Amino acid sequence: MTLWALYFLPVYFQAVQLATPSRSGVQILPTVFGMMPAAVIASQYLSLTGKYKLLHIVGMFLMAAGMGSFAAFDANSSTATWVCLQLLASLGNGMVATSILPGVQAGLTDEDNAVSTATWAFIRSYGAVWGVTIPATVFNNMFDKNSLKIAEPRVRALLADGNAYAYAAREFILGIPEATRGQVIEVYTDALRISWAVAAAIAGFAAFFTFFEVDVPLRETLRTDFGIKEPKRSTSPAEQQG
């Protein structure tokens, strides 16, 4: 969900709100900064209670609500709107990000920690690929489907076949004749709206299954052959004779 937002919020800010690339980078900061306090609070809660299921339930529902609320974004959305809605999604993401691995390892032995961590990292990296591929596919397909709203054939052909993402820039949009510009912005808005709806559906689907998650108690003791070996205490000759 984080990559979904980080890759396509700039499209919204630059192609719909006509922000510069540098300003759009500032505008997505709520998505980044919102995760940090949520991750810290979730980590503290997990350390104190040993419970992670509630974090997953609340976090996934916040992500679903936040990503779904992005569908309300349009050319006239206020700063307060896109800041607050980004925070909603990023808070949920932060809660989940730091609590998944402890949940994975709760039911395993200490000897399996290395394998489980590597497996979790691989699955997370693999999922990140789809976090870009799925929204790109949805966005491009919906843009091509709605591109008939653009009256100018030259502009429509230029943005077709997956090129809309590449041309999502303020300079390009402002270079379009004013009569066509509004149509292009509308198509961008509609394509992004469907993309956010799909993201919300996926997050909601995951949130539903968190209710069936087994809240295995976290271990309170460490039993492992790995760690820092303490040096042997040297003895003096006097101690040896005594």
Residue 40: inside a domain, yes or no? yes
Determine what percent of the chain is predicted with pLDDT higher than 90.
Answer: 47
Q: How many domains does the chain have?
A: 1
The pLDDT score that the predictor gives to residue 30 is 92
75-86 burial string, b = 16+ CB within 10 Å, else e?
A: eebeeeebeebb
Confidence at 110, pLDDT banded by 50, 70, 90: confident
Residue 232: inside a domain, yes or no? no
Alpha helix positions (H), the chain: 2-11, 21-27, 29-33, 35-49, 53-69, 79-97, 100-106, 113-146, 153-159, 170-174, 178-210, 237-241
Residue 231: inside a domain, yes or no? no
Q: Is the pTM of this model over 0.75?
A: yes
Residue 219: inside a domain, yes or no? no
Residue 151: inside a domain, yes or no? yes
Residue 238: inside a domain, yes or no? no
pLDDT digits (tens, 9 = 90+) for 34-54: 898 999 999 899 888 888 889
pLDDT at 161 over 90: no
Confidence at 171, pLDDT banded by 50, 70, 90: very high
pLDDT digits (tens, 9 = 90+) for 190-231: 999 999 999 999 999 999 998 998 878 777 666 666 556 666
CATH code of the domain containing 135:
1.20.1250.20
The pLDDT score that the predictor gives to residue 50 is 84
Q: Note whether 177 and 152 are within 8 A (CB).
A: yes
Residue 151 in 3-state DSSP?
coil
Residue 126: inside a domain, yes or no? yes
Residue 27 in 3-state DSSP?
helix
Structural domain boundaries, residue 23: 2-213
Confidence at 22, pLDDT banded by 50, 70, 90: very high
Residue 229: inside a domain, yes or no? no
Q: CA of 118: how far to CAs of 4, 22, 85, 127, in Å?
A: 24, 36, 33, 14
